[in-house]
């Protein structure tokens, strides 16, 4: 009995590993594919730097989304909150406020949006979908009010430096993304609040009955997401040297996609920061690689969707087989 089963088991194990690693394998395959297509360009310092620069702000916002999704919710307002924060910072500076003040106020705005989301969801028991959809709508409205529908620009050079400056020939937002990701990772991994988030995301009732303060933890998760989104938005404004009410609105969908891709990376199927970064990597490499190959933008969009479906389906097979 056991002898006939053994090879089959081994085969299953390899298959499962491949499935589990599906998303990582997908990223590696993408890199290998683009490298094979354009070996002279794809992995050059300049291009890798380009990719990192292009995904740095998405990485920050996806980090915010990860926190909320670890708790088992999601936040549709991250993109809008980031735009609003960028707009608020810009409007402050144009109004003559010093940079530190502009940034502080913008961060505060992000914090408040997150807090409102948290109160609505954790204390007033709205579903995350309804609450964040509603705040997203209002926040976009606020952003239009702040920008008066125009694009704000002419920020102080020191501010723009945050988004456009370089250290060791690598753009500063890349460092920001790195530091924020490490912080979020550490908070999720090592702090009691991070572990509470994991517990709640696994099973709210068990957590509550085990004495986890579920409401406070969810409130905190949304607040953190708002704050981190604001950081992303401020950096985007600095990176572009301008702020409009809708810039970076694509970050919401991409952040959710990145977290979903990341959830496929680990066994428990939970949102996790390492996985999210792999998801961000896939999205960034796809876009850059297809641009380099000169693929039509519409086709790019189709292909991006298909890759996401493939990766998530692969890991879905993993959970289904039991």
Partner 1 sequence: MSATNASTEVPMALEARDIFKHFDGVHALSGVKLSVKTGEIHALLGENGAGKSTLVKVITGIYTPDSGEILRNGESVEFANVRVANRAGIVALYQELSIIPSISVAENIMLGEQTPSKGGIVQWAELRKRAQEQLDRLNQKIPLNRLAGELSPVQQTMVAFARALATDARVLILDEPTASLTDTEIKDLFAVLRKLRDQGVAIIYVSHRLEEVFELCDRLTIMRNGETIITKDVQESNIEEVISNMVGRAAGQLYPERGTATTEVALTVEGLNGRRVKNVSFTAHKGEVLGIGGLAGSGRSELLRILAGAQKHSTGTVTVGEEALPSSPSVGKALDAGIALVPEERRSQGVILSASIQDNIALANIPSVSSLGIVSGVKISTITKRGMLDLQIKARGPHQNVGELSGGNQQKVVLAKMLARKPKVLLMDEPTRGIDVGTKAEIYRLIRELAAGGTTVIAVSSELPELIGMSDRIIIMHEGQISGEVEAAVADDELLLTYCYGKAN
Partner 2 sequence: MRNKFKLLVAAAAVVALSLTGCAASGGGEADKPFKVIAFTSGNQTPVGAWWVKAVTAKAKELGWDLTMIQGDFDFQKMNPAVESAIGQGADVILDGYTDYASIGSIVSAAKDAGIPIFAMDSGTEPTDAFVSNVTTDQQGIVDSTVEALSTELGGLKGKNVMIIGHDPHPGIRMRAGLAEEAFKAAGANIAGGEIQKVQSPATGRTEALALVADYLAANPNGLDAVWVGWDDAALGASKALAEAGSSAKVTGVDATSEAIAEITAGGNFLATIEQPWPAILDTVIGYIVTYQKDGTLPSTNFETVGTTLVNKVNAAKITPSDKL
Tell which positions 299-318 bind partner 2, by CB under 8 A: 301
268 binds partner 1 (CB under 8 A): yes
Q: Which is nearer to partner 1, 32 or 182 (CB)?
A: 182
CA distance 265 to 316: 11
DSSP annotation string for 143-168:
HHHHHTTS-EE---HHHHHHHH-EET
Per-residue x/- marks for partner 2, 232-251, CB under 8 A? Answer: ----x---xxx-xxxxxxx-
316 binds partner 1 (CB under 8 A): no
**Which residue, 253, 202, 246, is CA-closest to 83?**
246
Per-residue x/- marks for partner 2, 137-176, CB under 8 A? Answer: -------x---xxxx-xx---------x------------
Which entry of partner 2, partner 1, none binds 157, CB below 5 to 8 A by partner kind?
none
Q: Which is nearer to partner 2, 222 or 254 (CB)?
A: 254
- Find the binder of partner 2 among 21, 35, 50, 175 (CB under 8 A): 50
210 binds partner 1 (CB under 8 A): yes
DSSP annotation string for 31-51:
HHHHHHH-TTTTTSHHHHHHH
Tell which positions 276-295 bind partner 2, by CB under 8 A: 287-288, 291-292, 294
Q: What are phi and psi of 272, to 5 degrees?
A: -150, 145
Residues forming a β-bridge with 153 = 242
Contact 287, 308 (CB under 8 A): no
- Find the binder of partner 1 among 21, 165, 202, 274 (CB under 8 A): 202
Contact 285, 30 (CB under 8 A): yes
46 binds partner 2 (CB under 8 A): yes
Tell which positions 161-190 bind partner 1, by CB under 8 A: 190
**Which residue, 86, 113, 130, is CA-closest to 219?**
113
Q: Which H or E run includes 131?
A: helix 128-147
Q: How many residues bind partner 1 (CB under 8 A)?
A: 25
**Which residue, 160, 143, 74, 144, is CA-closest to 106?**
143
Binding residues for partner 2, rule: CB under 8 A, are 38, 41, 44, 46-47, 50, 53-54, 144, 148-151, 153-154, 164, 236, 240-242, 244-250, 287-288, 291-292, 294, 296-298, 301
Binding residues for partner 1, rule: CB under 8 A, are 190-196, 198-199, 201-203, 205-213, 267-270
């Amino acid at each position: 009995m056991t002898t006939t089963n053994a090879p089959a088991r081994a085969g299953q194990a390899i298959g499962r590993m491949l499935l589990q690693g599906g998303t990582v394998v997908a990223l590696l395959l993408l890199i290998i594919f683009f490298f094979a297509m354009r070996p002279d360009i794809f992995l050059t310092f300049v291009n890798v730097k380009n990719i990192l620069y292009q995904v740095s702000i998405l990485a920050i916002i996806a980090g915010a989304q990860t926190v909320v999704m670890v708790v088992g919710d999601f936040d549709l307002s991250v993109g809008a909150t980031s735009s609003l924060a960028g707009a608020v910072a810009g409007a402050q500076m144009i109004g003559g406020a010093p940079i530190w003040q502009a940034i502080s106020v913008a961060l505060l705005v992000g914090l408040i949006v997150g807090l409102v989301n948290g109160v609505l969801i954790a204390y007033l028991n709205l579903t995350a979908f309804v609450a964040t959809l509603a705040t997203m709508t209002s926040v976009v409205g606020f952003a239009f009010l702040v920008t008066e529908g125009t694009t704000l620009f002419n920020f102080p050079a020191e501010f723009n430096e945050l988004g456009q400056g370089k250290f060791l020939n690598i753009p500063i937002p890349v460092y920001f993304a790195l530091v924020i990701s490490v912080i979020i990772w550490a908070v999720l991994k090592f702090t009691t609040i991070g572990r509470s988030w994991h517990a709640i995301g696994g099973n709210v009732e068990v957590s509550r009955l085990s004495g986890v303060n579920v409401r406070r933890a969810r409130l905190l998760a949304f607040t953190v997401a708002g704050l981190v989104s604001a950081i992303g938005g401020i950096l985007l404004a600095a990176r572009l040297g301008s702020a409009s009410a809708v810039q970076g609105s694509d970050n919401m969908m991409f952040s959710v996609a990145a977290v979903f891709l990341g959830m496929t990376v680990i066994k428990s199927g939970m949102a996790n920061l390492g996985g999210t970064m792999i998801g961000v990597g896939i999205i960034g490499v796809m876009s850059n690689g297809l641009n380099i190959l000169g693929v039509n933008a519409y086709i790019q969009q189709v292909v991006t969707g298909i890759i996401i479906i493939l990766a998530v389906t692969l890991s879905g097979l993993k959970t289904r087989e039991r």
